[in-house]
Structures are given as structure tokens and as C-alpha cells.
Amino acid sequence: MSAIYNRIYEDLYDEIRAEVIADLSEERFDQIYQQVVADVLDKVESGDITVTAASVIEMIYAIANEQANAVIGITALDGSGNQIAIGSGVLYHQVGDLYYVVTNNHVVENATSFEVVFADGTSIPAILRGVDATVDIAVLYFTSAEPLQTVTFADSEALTKGSIVLAVGNPNGYDYYGSMTMGIVSGINRYFDIDGDQVKDMFVNYIQHDASINAGNSGGALFNLDGEVVGINVIKIAATEIEGMGFAIPSNLVAAICADIEEYGVSKQKPVLGITFVDIASNPDYFTYYGITLPAGIENGFYVIAVMPGATLGSIVQIGDIVVSINGVDIVDTTQFIQFFSQYHVGDIIDVTVYRSGQYQTFEDIELLPKVN
């Protein structure tokens, strides 16, 4: 909340400056001002000062008038120049007249050309630098002689449940360009089966929030009250019995992926094992239904039901194997594995132990690979 108090005291500074500057040097006045701000922030941290509704409203107005301008439109086109998708994007990095914009991969996939679209309806051709299909992130770039607003990524690890957040994007297309909605963080480190393979995905520890988002918000920003981006909106759960369940990719992961794509053209963040499996501990009915008899004494691990050729474990494990440990860490269940495996990056080396044909086998020095497209 420090930005709120800095802004309040900047206003105070402007009001009293003219009255006292005659009696103090400008340098000395600035020193006093900085000390006052520091003293006030100390009181804020100790709980002696309470954030007021007015100060929060002021911050929301500031974001609407400043940082929200960094959220633009993304139009994806096919080879004939026909529009196939509209989404949102966030300008996050400027190098001279070159601007980088992050959006979701699902906004740009299957397209052959792209445009970034601004509030006044003008557009500029953009070039796709690279994508991370696993996390659903894409980075484009374009040039502009006109100065444009960019954002700062927050430390999403510092985000807590109950934090106020603002979603900015283009819900339902450009007729609602730059819409802003407010909500709170409903939960952190949410995992779910986004690709529909009946297994909770381990790639993203999503931020759950209840700020309204809709089709077209994809790739838009989720701001904190300091005007920093804490996440990139990616999906909502849409059902008649569900309201207010939106999800954003945490900014720490987004920033790391964007840095990789800028430098290498690909992301080196999230590896994929390349297997479809059933969690033995959590899904006993699966084995009963299909008449599969598990080996005596095997109560945990991943029973492999499909293998993706060319993936990390594509030429190593077989259907019917039971993956019991990675790097010496026993696999207890999917939730435990997700938390454990999230520490690894593409290029890391692991060992994998499987139970096959009545015996344990350990495969060493396996390089983790990205998703096979």
C-alpha cells in the first residue's frame, strides 16, 4: 500500500510547497518531505494508520487513468486476412521504439498474422516472438514512434487471499475496449485440469479471483492497488451454477516466460513428462472398473495409461508402468507431485524410478523437455 501513501503525501507536498519554500532551500524541503513520507510509512506498517476508502478509490482512479492504458487489443488473422480471434494484451517492456506485449497463446494460435489495437481504433501489425503453449503465454512485438504506457510486474509470491485486484481487458470484443472490473483474490496456488485429460495440470499455480472476466479478457492484466500486474487473466469457469471464478497466471511465472521468449524465442520454464496417468492413491475405482490388478504392496504412484512420443519420458516408460519416484522423492499423490514437480525447469536433469514386470527400474540422467506440439 506504500504507493497510496506516497501519492497522498505528494498531493500534500504540492499544496504546502509554495507556502514554505520561501523559508527553506528546495533541497532541504525535499529532505523534510522524504522524511515525512518515511515516518508515515513506518506508522502504516506498525498499524497506527488505517487505509481509508478514499485512498483506495484514489488509487483505482490512478490505475484507470495510467497503467490500464498498457492493456491493449490483440487481433489474430488467418492467411486470408480474416479475423479469427480477439483478445487482450499487456505492454510490459520497451526498448527504444520497440514494444513487447504478452497475451495468451490461445488468442494467437492458428493465426498467421497479428495486429495490436488501441483505444482510438487504430492498429499496428505485430510479430509473434514465441509462445509457451503449456502455460498459455505468447509474446508479440511491434514498433511505435508514439510513447506508450507499459506495466511493472509485481511479486506474485507476495499476493495473499483477500487482496483487492482489478481486471482490465476487452470482454466480448472491442465494443467494450479497456473494461475494468474489481474483485478480490479468492485463492492462490489453484491447480485444475485445463486440458481435459482427467489429470490436474502441474504447470501453473493459478490465482483465483472474482473480478468479472469474459471472452476477450484473455491475455489482459490483473492489477494490484499499486498499479502492478500480479497476473495475466486466462480462463473462467462458466456454468449456470457458478459465479465469479476467474483465473490468472501469476506474474512471476509470466515474467520469467516472457524473458525467455524475448531472448530465445521459446520458454524454458515448464517441462512436461509426456505421460497420461492415473493416481493410484486417489483413483482406486479406476482399477476396479477396468479389472486391473495392482502389484501387492504398491499403494502409491502413477499408473501410466498413455505415453507421448518425443516427450521427456516418451522413449523411457511404457504403458502399464508405475512411476513411483523422481529424484528419490516418492510419489504420494497428484497434489503432492504437483507441488514437488513445480520446482523444475526445462533442461533440468532427473532420475525416474518405475515398477515394471515385478521389479523396480531406475532411469538416470533424463533431460526435462517442453511440451511436444
Catalytically active residues, by annotation: 106, 136, 218
Q: Which residue type, as a one-letter code, is found at position 70?
A: A
C-alpha span between 12 and 271 (Å, rounded):
51
Query: Do 56 and 4 contact (CB within 8 A), yes or no?
Result: yes
The full length of the chain comes to: 373
C-alpha span between 62 and 83 (Å, rounded):
33
Q: Which residue type, as a one-letter code, is found at position 148?
A: L
Listed in sequence order, the residues at least 6 apart from 186 whose beta carbon sits closer than 8 Å to its beta carbon are 161, 208, 209, 210, 244, 245
C-alpha span between 351 and 326 (Å, rounded):
6
Question: Can you say whether the dihedral through the CA atoms of 18, 22, 26, 28 is positive or negative?
Answer: negative
Listed in sequence order, the residues at least 6 apart from 294 whose beta carbon sits closer than 8 Å to its beta carbon are 280, 287, 303, 322
DSSP H or E run through 46: helix 26-46
C-alpha span between 157 and 280 (Å, rounded):
31
DSSP string, 174-243: GGGTTEEEEEEEEEEEE---TTSSSS---S--EEEE-S---TT-TT-EEE-TTS-EEEEEEEE--BTTB-
Q: How far apart are the first and last CA of the chain?
A: 42
Nearest to 164 by CA among 117, 236, 223: 223
